[in-house]
Amino acid sequence: MESRERKFDVILLDVDGTLLDFGMSERQGMRVVLEQYGFEPTEERLLLYHEINEGFWSAFERGEVTKDNLVRQRFETFFDRLGRAVDGHEAEELYRRQLDASAFLIDGALELCAYLKDRYDLYVVTNGTSSTQYKRLAASGLDSFMKDIFVSEDAGSQKPQKEYFDYCFSRIPDANPRRMLLIGDSPASDIKGGMAAGTYTCWYNPGGNALPEGIRADYEVGSLKELMNLL
């Protein structure tokens, strides 16, 4: 994939797990939430929340749950497992305040975006809450590299749904999916979404995992630095 070939004009970049360390933000936010409700933020409880949250997001990406239900029910389900009933919206508001203020860069993210900016048009493609993603991207400095930021909440649909990518492409000048590369860490939303949308895909896979059956990436890297060698 030598740069002189100009195989791509546009790079679509996922945020959480690709450019920003959402896991660290999640843990920091949940420590505050647990303490607010009188629970010690143990590793076991943090892991339980993570598993419940992942399950709800997977259901959301499959179109099985609305965003409002997701953010409410994940906390009600979590605290129910701890033996306490809580107001899901109240817990969400507390968690969201912590999340909005957190932006932990994955190693090499700023360097990668600075390198790519002069070579390609960069766009963010992310599932999430719009206000939170905008704030985190601004706090990290990543927003300055982007031509635009496309958040699922604004689109009214989410990766990997075709409607989400239709929304993105309608806002990219002279959009041609076959001149785009989507880079992300999630096989289910990023790679599957790119396959359905007709873009090339690159799986950011620092854990060295195997792709699920039926999902194929055009490229795979284990670090962001590898992308600088590829693009």
> Look-up: residue for tokens 């007709």?
198
- Residue 182: phi and psi, rounded to 5, are -100, 125
State the amino acid at position 3 in one-letter form.
Answer: S
Catalytic residue among 14, 21, 185, 190: 14
The tokens for 153 are 């909440």
Helix segments in the chain, DSSP class H: 22-36, 43-61, 67-81, 88-100, 109-117, 130-140, 152-155, 162-169, 192-197, 224-230
Distance of CA 28 to the CA centre of its chain: 17
DSSP state of 174: T
Contact 12, 198 (CB under 8 A): no
- Is 16 part of the annotated catalytic residue set? no
Beta-bridge partner residues of 10: 121, 180
d(CA 116, CA 199): 18
The tokens for 212 are 């699920």
Residues forming the active site: 14
